[in-house]
Amino acid sequence: MADDIPWERLFEDATRVRERAHVPYSRFPVGAAILYADGSVVAGCNVENATYGLTVCAERNAFAAGVAQGRSRPVAVAIVANTDVPCPPCGMCRQVMAEFAGNALSVRSRTPKGDEARYTLGELLPHAFTKDFF
C-alpha cells in the first residue's frame, strides 16, 4: 500500500488546513491529513486555548474528525509544521494513532520548504499501550 499513497495530495491538504490553525499563543501552526483505506482523506489543524492544557494538536483533531465521519483503517498520516526540520508527532498524538492503527501506519512530516522525514508508527511508538492489553 505504501507505493499507492498519494503523499503529495496529503501534504497539500495538510498545508491548506495548517493555514486555519488557531495558534495565537505559540504561533506554531500545524496541519495533518489522514488517508483511510477507503481512499478518503480527513484533515485537521491544531487549536490552542488560553489554558494550554486544552490545546489539541492537528493530528488528534484529524483523527477525531475521522471518527466523527465514521472513518476507519487509517493507512497514512502527513504532517506539515512550521519548522526548519521535519517535526514528528508528539507523544499524545502517537498514542492516539496507536488507538486506530497498527505499527505499519506510514507517517511523514514535512517542513514548508519541503524537507521530509518518514516513519512508521512502530518506529515512533515501539511499545504502544493498546487494547491488546485488556
Active-site residue list:
59
Strand ordering across the sheet containing 106-110:
41-45, 30-36, 74-81, 106-110, 116-120
Q: Angle, nearest 10°, between helix axes 7-18 and 58-68?
A: 110
| 106 Cβ neighbours under 8 A, 6+ residues apart | 2, 5, 75, 76, 77, 118, 119, 120
Cell triple for 29: 501552526
